[in-house]
Structure 1
Amino acid sequence: MLTEESPYIDLIFSLTGQTLPLDNGYIVYSALSRICPAIHQLEDISIHPIAGIPESSKELRLTQRSKLQIRLPVDLIPFIYEYLAGQTFSIGQNQFQLGIPEYNPLHPFPDLYSRLVIIKRFQEPQRFLEAAKRQLERLNIQGTITLSSRANGQPQCRQLTIENKAGIFPVRGFGVQVTGLGEEDSITLQKYGMGGKQKMMCGVFVPSRRNKRERE
């Protein structure tokens, strides 16, 4: 059994292909689960949003900088490597190729950001923020948490489209920033993230110093 002391890393695969839907968290997770069914059961991994260039309101074009990044305990590296390294997967008519992964250990940063955090039953900004603060408190993390805002000052609301036996439906969430973190708290937040759907690219925290283009 994994312990709280198990160090986490980001396993980074090169990703080649043409375009993905902009709202791709669920479909990428589903495609990877077909290659490695155990991903569905594993509770200790999360998947980063994939970087690319929006070509329209619905499509994301991959570039040389596009990666599939999986955050996981070091104990799981051999398992995930065996199933995913060098593999291909399909989404619709498009095929995508994974390379041989690199490893990136987690480093503490005082300011962290997540593009989309989803907390079940909390889709109104103020109540969501209060729920997010409670999650930090449960992890004994001290920091200042705010919702990311758009140019007009409104909270940065996004959605993840998921599919289950009941059908296809969107789930709303918000961009979240946590600032003023100590080193230990920063690593803790990166390890455990915030909210649900972390295997669908939600609630994964990265340094806020990444520029706006990378975030979007």
Structure 2
Amino acid sequence: MTSPIIDLYFPLQGRNIPVDHGYPLFAALAQRLETPGHPWLHESGDIGIHLIRGRYQGQGLLALGPHAKLGLRLPAERLPQLLPLAGKALEIAGHGLRLGIPQPHALQPAANLYAHLVTTHHGQDEARFDQEIARQLAALGIQSHAQRGPRRTFAVKGKQVVAHSLLVTELTAEESIRLQEMGLGGRRKLGCGVFVPWIR
């Protein structure tokens, strides 16, 4: 039996983090979780990491509020590998965070889903990006409409990667759960292609 996909949310204590924190967050988690010769987080294909939400305070930083959370999307069977993060400190590009006790949450269906960053091969070409998203949605058996948002960039090892935000609308409950479980595009461990319910 396949393990259900869930979201695991850790409360966060900290002042601020960079807006562009996907790669340094992943690197900090890998440093905490992996052991020499066993880079399991790097090699895993079934874990997504939510970008951390905060209020933009200028100078490329997000201010973290009292309800800030770190979210991971993963098969429930992976919980024992992630629970050791509880109570641990992380350093994200020089900004310190401390993780609290996590809470698991079941995925909830929503008719409209949003991802802040989605990357594909040749994603800098908007037409090819749209074609690839349509292909991936069709492969998932999803016929809903996808609305490409603004072009964005983020850094990975000093190189800029092109992405777009994406809104997928008019999903059935089954399609919504499937899209949240599978995501779209690549770099899910860097916060890309991880969909959440869209609230207008």
TM range (shorter): over 0.9
The ranges of structure 1 where at least 4 consecutive aligned residues each deviate by more than 4 angstroms after the TM superposition are: none
Percent sequence identity over aligned pairs: 37
CA drift of 1:206 comes to 0.5
Output the TM-score relative to the length of structure 2: 0.93
CA drift of 1:57 comes to 4.3
Output the TM-score relative to the length of structure 1: 0.86
Cα displacement string for residues 55-106 of structure 1 (whole angstroms, at most 9, x for unaligned residues): 1141111111211000001110111113x11111113443210001011100
* Whole-angstrom distance in 1 between the partners of 2:14 and 2:96: 6
- 1:34 is aligned to 2:31: yes
Indicate the SS of the match to 2:52: coil
Are 2:24 and 2:93, in contact at CA under 8 Å, matched by a contact in 1? Answer: no
Q: For the aligned residues, what is the CA RMSD?
A: 1.3
The aligned residue for residue 136 of structure 1 is 137
Gaps of 5+ in 2: 35-39
Are 2:6 and 2:75, in contact at CA under 8 Å, matched by a contact in 1? Answer: yes
* Whole-angstrom distance in 1 between the partners of 2:155 and 2:33: 22
The aligned residue for residue 169 of structure 2 is 179
Within 5 Å, which residues of 2 pair with 1:124-203? 124-148=125-149, 156-163=150-157, 168-203=158-193
* Whole-angstrom distance in 1 between the partners of 2:164 and 2:91: 29
* Whole-angstrom distance in 2 between the partners of 1:51 and 1:20: 10
The aligned residue for residue 107 of structure 1 is 108
Give the counterpart of 1:204 among 173, 187, 194.
Answer: 194
Indicate the SS of the match to 2:73: strand
**Aligned amino acid, residue 86 of structure 2:** A
Pairs aligned (count): 195
* Whole-angstrom distance in 2 between the partners of 1:93 and 1:44: 28
Cα separation, partners in 2 of 1:57 and 1:119, compared to 1, 3 Å: farther
